[in-house]
Amino acid sequence: MGIVRRMTVSYALLGLLNEADRHGYDLKQSYDRRFGATRPLRFGQVYRTLAQLERDGLIAVAGVEPGAGPERKRYSITTDGVTDLERWLSEPEDPQPQLQTVLFTKVVVALLSGRSADVFLEEQRQRHLAVMRDLTRQRREASLRDGMLIDYQLFHIEADLRWIEHAAGRLDTLAEEIKL
């Protein structure tokens, strides 16, 4: 779970840097405003994530203000960073619990950066539908107990899908609001 959240946070930060170069402090503020309604980022997490992204070559230090401390560094996204962000955006996620954080982040990052959220949502929808077809097929051969577990997964994936449909119908309005 920790891994999923950390990765999603990384991409959220990449998305913000894709919009403009930013300091760590600025990134935290922007993150909390755009993504962090229920879970604001801690500074430690921001700097840890930035260090990883920098080590992986996805961001670079664009300038250092006079003074001391990590908050003096201004970061920018590299071309590798843009490539990785786009790959993440275009790859559908396998349905799983906690996926909402990832899907929500993808929608906001896509809209923030003027990329198409429609295409990503439609491909995600297809992935979810395909997994539901597989599970429904598996359930046919399953015992009642295993079938009940499969049902549990099916209902959760269906809830994701409802959200995807719902979000797809509101992208224009959401885009307006997010730019604020």
Least distance in Å: CB of 99 to other proteins? 15
Least distance in Å: CB of 101 to other proteins? 21
110-139 burial by CB neighbour count: b if 16+ within 10 A, else e?
Answer: bbbbebebeebbeebbebbeebbeebeeeb
Least distance in Å: CB of 173 to other proteins? 16
Stretch that binds other proteins, among 47-55, 68-76, 80-88, 122-130 (CB under 8 A): 122-130
Tokens standing for residue 26 = 């600025």
Q: Is 149 in the site for other proteins (CB under 8 A)?
A: no
161 contacts: CB under 8 Å, gap ≥ 6:
125, 128, 129, 132
Q: Is 140 in the site for other proteins (CB under 8 A)?
A: yes
Neighbours of 51 (CB within 10 A): 12
The single residue among 60, 154, 167, 171 that binds other proteins, judged by CB under 8 A, is 154
Residue appearing with tokens 């959760």? 156
Q: Is 126 in the site for other proteins (CB under 8 A)?
A: yes
Q: Is 133 in the site for other proteins (CB under 8 A)?
A: yes
Distance between CA 78 and CA 44 in Å, rounded? 23
Q: Catalog residues that contact other proteins under the rule CB under 8 A.
A: 119, 122-123, 125-130, 132-133, 135-136, 140, 154-155, 157-158, 161-162, 165, 169
